A and B are shown apart, each in its own frame.
Chain A
């Protein structure tokens, strides 16, 4: 069993989740993920790693509450235990001195892009961070990004913080901020990664995305996480999760992610009350 050190709602629907798993902290690298189960009947849920503390032996993730399984996770409290917490999984993010790197995070990806930005900063890159959300109240961790970023830029759809609008404004923002990135890294929802890859393709800047498909074992055994990259089938769990965003077949990926949309919310509609199906 793995003890939960903290689980708190950091902004509406997003939870910061810290678990005692010393064996994971020994080997974890930016870009890795873990697989956990909330209880003995739970699904195996993959979560990107957002931070870790080798001394305390703890690993932190940010997750979005979407369906039955994440609702169960969101009910856990510090001191509770979960039966499964396995990792690190996936290839680590490519870290080297690229020059200037723009790290873009949205939703849970603000969390998971953090260790990548930190490692790139430590590797000597000039790191700019762009945090994207629907509104100002959904942004978090700015204070963690500031010390490792030359600038933290915010982009909200309602304009309540930073630039107003969607990631399609990225080329304009880069001009206004006078940033010429050698590489862009995006973590977050599929739409953010797909749209970013769309605009950066025109800019000709290499863009790395951190894919988040459905998974079961996370070790290459089941193949449910397959996606098409540069015309070839890849398994996100062992060949990724980082891929070149310009080579991903986004249309197929979006459809595959929707496979269990109905089943995902089904448990939420079961209250146990006889009159409630």
Chain B
């Protein structure tokens, strides 16, 4: 019998039309229908040695959940995912699958790889819509007590892994809502907050306790925690924004991406004045940087009603660190990309408000240590751009509060907590760390991968 021909293309993701979506904060990607999900799942080759599983930082049994989908056993499918991943609805949306599972998919040799992320999201959303959230088996209490600093992707993963093993787990969160960067950083139109809340509720349903408004290092130090807990995991994230260190950065109208996005996402500034946190509605906005955060800030500015939004990036399109999908979304929505452009100076009026930025044109030279071609300024190419807001999205360092208040905790040059790559163990006994606080700003899934390893190491240490 001849083999069924393989469809070379992924099923496209239904999306809100660009002209419509730039007027609202609703999710852009609408998710697969049952039919689309089934068609996409049927593209899977069900490899004997599935490379996708190795490509997944948390090792989800991808062919197994896709097989369940083919049999229309959605509850079996989501169960398979949840064996390895407590946040499927989040990961299905924001993981860079093209760098991980989908990158190594065998289908990808000749065709487009299978859309693992979209299928994962489909199952997670199907489960939420069904209303019957299944919980895996929880081991009986083993007496071990674990404190977790931060309720972002890393903290939530460690918490759920250890709760399932029978530990008494408490998460401490500095802000008034859980989720870390999923809540304050990633916009509603890319990751609806209702989904983050749902995932946090799921982790709480496993018996994990959550303390909000608790700033570890200030409200209580890590050392004080050591008297009460058998293990401490630090997942405090990369919460210290970098600025360009060019003149004029403290003018009014200049924001860190963290501020801009926090005002909008956590504080719901887009609903001002119903929500009391204001967010300036600028007409011409420049966003510095080329990562996912820059895309998020630029697309947020559009939705807040800006006439013109520019991404100002010193390299070219092929070097953008953002996911291609997000770049394409931004392009479709009308964000203007100024490649090979370096802001050198911010200029304000007499009242201290930003009015212009001065930039230099760049050209690409020899590759630098990151392997990307180094941008070199073109002499005499200065020009000015009229803007009334600028958002600096060039990266973050780990939050300094914990290193500052935890003596003996080894910290690297960039303020990152030093932790073993395989175990997450820090320089201090019974203290583990993982996620952005160790690596600097990275991805949700890599934080979850590091957290999973730390959970394993915590369990091994405490079971001795």
The A interface is mostly helix, strand or loop, or mixed, namely: mixed
Q: Which of A6-14, A146-154, A263-271 contacts B (4 or more CB under 8 A)?
A: A263-271
Which residues in B have their C-beta under 8 angstroms from that of A259? 252, 280
Contact B252 A255 (CB under 8 A): yes
Q: Is A196 an interface residue (CB 8 A)?
A: no
Q: How far is the CA of A88 from the CA of B220 in the complex (A)?
A: 9
- A97 touches B (CB below 8 Å): no
Within 8 A of B (CB), among A215-253: 216-217, 219-224, 226-228, 233, 238, 252
Closest-CB distance, A105 to chain B (whole angstroms): 24
B105 CB to closest chain A CB (Å) equals 37
Contact partner, B276, options A26, A224, A267, Cβ 8 Å: A267
Distance in Å: Cβ of B215 to nearest Cβ of chain A? 6
B459 interfacial by beta-carbon distance below 8 Å: no
Q: Given contacts A220-B399, A222-B258, is CB(A84)–CB(B176) below 8 Å?
A: yes
Q: Is the CB of B240 within 8 A of A216?
A: no
Count chain A residues whose beta carbon lies closer than 8 angstroms to a beta carbon of B.
43
The interface residues of chain B lying within 8 Å CB-to-CB of A263 are 272-273, 278
CB pair B215 A89 closer than 8 Å: yes
User: Is the CB of A44 closer than 8 A to any CB of chain B?
Assistant: yes
Complex: A140 Cα to B280 Cα, angstroms: 37
Point out the residues of chain A lying under 8 angstroms from B400, CB to CB.
Answer: 220, 238
Q: Interface size bucket, B side?
A: 35 or more
Which residues of chain A in 72-92 are interfacial with respect to chain B, using CB atoms and an 8 Å cutoff?
72, 83-89
A84 / chain B contacts, CB cutoff of 8 Å = 176, 212-213
Main secondary structure of the interface of B (DSSP, over half): loop
Stretch at the interface among B5-13, B259-267, B336-344: B259-267
Query: Are B259 and A42 in touch, CB under 8 angstroms?
Result: no
Contact B273 A219 (CB under 8 A): no
Question: Is B399 within 8 A of A222, CB to CB?
Answer: no
* B175 at interface by CB-CB < 8 Å: yes
Residue of A nearest to B211 (CB): A23
Option from B215, B243, B256, B401 in Cβ contact (under 8 Å) with A87: B215
Does B284 belong to the interface (CB within 8 Å)? no
Interface flags for B100-142 (1: CB within 8 Å of A; 0: not) read 0000000000000000000000000000000000000000000
Cβ contact within 8 Å between A86 and B214: yes
Per the bound structure, the CA–CA distance linking A219 and B172 in Å amounts to 14
Contact residues, B118-168 vs A (CB, 8 A)? none
**Most chain-A CB neighbours within 10 Å: which of B184, B218, B400?**
B218
Shortest beta-carbon distance, A258 to chain B, in Å?
Answer: 7
Q: How far is the CA of A23 from the CA of B277 in the complex (A)?
A: 26
Q: Cβ of B305 < 8 Å from any Cβ of A?
A: no
A195 within 8 A of B: no
> How far is A57 from B32 in the complex, measured between Cα atoms in Å?
52
Task: Check A258–B252 contact: CB distance below 8 A.
Answer: yes
Check: B179 CB closer than 8 A to any chain A CB: no
Q: Which of A86, A226, A267 contacts B273 (CB 8 A)?
A: A267
B259 and A224: CB pair below 8 A?
Answer: yes
Task: Judge if B241 is at the interface, Cβ distance under 8 Å.
Answer: yes
Question: Which residue on chain A has the smallest CB distance to residue B276?
Answer: A43
Residues of the B chain whose Cβ atoms lie less than 8 Å from the Cβ of A175: none
Is A87 a contact of B241 with CB atoms below 8 Å?
no
Task: Note all chain A residues with C-beta closer than 8 A to B175.
Answer: 217
Min CB gap B178→A, angstroms: 13
- Compute the total of residue contacts between A and B using a CB distance below 8 Å: 116
Is B77 at the interface (CB under 8 A from chain A)?
no
Q: A221-B239, A222-B259, A256-B352 are in contact. Are A43 and B219 (CB under 8 A)?
A: no
A220→B250 contact, CB < 8 A: no
B250 adjacent to A85 (CB under 8 Å): no
List A residues 31-69 near B (Cβ within 8 Å). 37, 41-44, 68-69
**Shortest distance between the CB of A44 and any CB in chain B (Å):** 7
| Residue among B213, B258, B268 with the highest chain A CB neighbour number at 10 A | B213
The yes or no answer to A211 lying at the interface (CB within 8 A) is: no
Is A179 on the interface with B (CB-CB < 8 A)? no
Is the Cβ of B176 less than 8 Å from the Cβ of A43?
A: no
By a CB distance below 8 angstroms, the chain B residues around A224 are 255-256, 259
B351 at the interface (CB under 8 A from A): yes
Which of B176, B255, B262 interacts with A221 by CB under 8 Å?
B262
Instruction: Please state if A223 and B259 are interface contacts (CB–CB under 8 Å).
Output: yes
Question: A42 touching B243 by the CB < 8 A rule?
Answer: no
B176 touches A223 (CB 8 A): no
CB < 8 Å neighbour of B220 from A27, A68, A89, A217: A27
How far in angstroms is the closest Cβ of chain B from A33? 11
Instruction: Contacts A43-B267, A222-B258, A252-B250 known; list 19 others, CB within 8 Å.
Output: A23-B214, A23-B220, A68-B273, A69-B276, A84-B212, A85-B213, A86-B214, A87-B218, A216-B263, A217-B174, A221-B262, A221-B399, A223-B258, A224-B255, A233-B250, A238-B400, A238-B404, A252-B352, A266-B278
Could you tell me which A residues sit within 8 Å of B by CB distance?
23-24, 26-27, 37, 41-44, 68-69, 72, 83-89, 216-217, 219-224, 226-228, 233, 238, 252, 255-256, 258-260, 263-264, 266-267, 270
Q: Which residues of B line the A interface, CB within 8 A?
A: 174-176, 184, 212-215, 218-220, 239-241, 243, 249-250, 252, 255-256, 258-259, 262-263, 267-268, 272-278, 280, 351-352, 399-401, 404
- 6 A-B pairs within 8 Å (CB atoms) are namely A23-B220, A85-B213, A217-B184, A221-B239, A223-B243, A233-B249
